[in-house]
Amino acid sequence: MSDPDPSRPATRTGPLAEEAAVVAAAARGDRSAFTQLVEHYQGACYGLAWRLLGDPDLAADATQDAFIHAYDHIRAYRGGVFRSWLLRITANASYDILRRSQRRPTTALPEPEEGEADIADPRAVNPVAESARAELYRALDAALRLLPEDQRIAVVLSDVYGMDYQEVAESIQSPIGTVKSRIHRGRLRLRVLLADQRELFEG
């Protein structure tokens, strides 16, 4: 599993300048307006997809699917925060891909030998090579990947992308009670996984 380019950590994407006008133009069929939205939000959508799927190619596919769905349904967009609308679509697209890949299991890769773990161990980050913040992000992403899938999805949607319980429940088609339980257990497990890296949080 390869990571996204860590040398170019992006920040959280804020709303586009004059976003309402751009969205309205895209809804009228203006392709250049929609392209503007794609270029602006692709990092956010890709980030969500990658954190849900843990695979760069699948994440790119999910992002592409999400934008196609968004393009087809942008007339159904009824206001609100466009980023959240787009992220919900991306979450659904990612979840669809996840379910499809579970229905068609691929050959499992051999278990990495000790010391050659392909999945980054949150304890194996190099504090010298990266800045403290980039190190924290790397540790968090690595810890997220160590969570059980159901907990990871719930925590990513809730705590990383700020969806409320209802939105998460709709995205993963589960009862709210189940969603709450997964989020809470996921947070507790993350805390344990990152217990030895408290110093990263103190910066």
Partner 1 sequence: MSMTTRAHPDPERLAALAGADPDALSDRDLIAHVAECAACDGQVRDLEVLRAALAELPDLVPSRPLRLLPPVAEPTEPAGWRIGLRRAFAPLAVAGMVLLLVGGVGATGALGPADAGSFFQRIQFSAPAAMEAATAQPEETAAGVGMAPAELASPEGSRDQTGAIATEVPRAADASAVPSESAAPSESAAPAESLAEVTAGQDTSRDGGLAMVEDRAGWILAALAGVGLLALALVLRRSAVRIDRGSSGR
The yes or no reply on residue 197 touching partner 1 (CB under 8 A) is no
The encoded tokens of residue 38 equal: 């794609």
Nearer to partner 1, 98 or 183 (CB): 183
DSSP output for the chain? -PPP-TTS------PPTTHHHHHHHHHTT-HHHHHHHHHHHHHHHHHHHHHHH--HHHHHHHHHHHHHHHHHHGGG--SS-HHHHHHHHHHHHHHHHHHHHHHSPPPPPPPPPTT--SSPPGGG--TTTS-HHHHHHHHHHHHHHHS-HHHHHHHIIIIIT---HHHHHHHHT--HHHHHHHHHHHHHHHHHHTGGGHHHHH-
The yes or no reply on residue 131 touching partner 1 (CB under 8 A) is no
Nearer to partner 1, 95 or 135 (CB): 135
User: Collapsing DSSP states into helix, strand and coil, what is residue 22?
Assistant: helix
Near partner 1 by CB under 8 A: residue from 142, 155, 168, 169:
155
The yes or no reply on residue 129 touching partner 1 (CB under 8 A) is no
The yes or no reply on residue 150 touching partner 1 (CB under 8 A) is no
Least distance CB 115 / partner 1 (angstroms):
26
The yes or no reply on residue 33 touching partner 1 (CB under 8 A) is no
The yes or no reply on residue 137 touching partner 1 (CB under 8 A) is yes
Stretch that binds partner 1, among 37-45, 74-82, 94-102, 117-125 (CB under 8 A): 37-45
| Interface positions with partner 1 (CB under 8 A) | 2, 4-5, 8-13, 31, 34-35, 38, 42-44, 46-47, 50-51, 56-57, 59-60, 63-64, 67, 71, 136-137, 140-141, 155, 158-160, 162, 180-181, 183-185, 187-188, 190-191, 194, 201
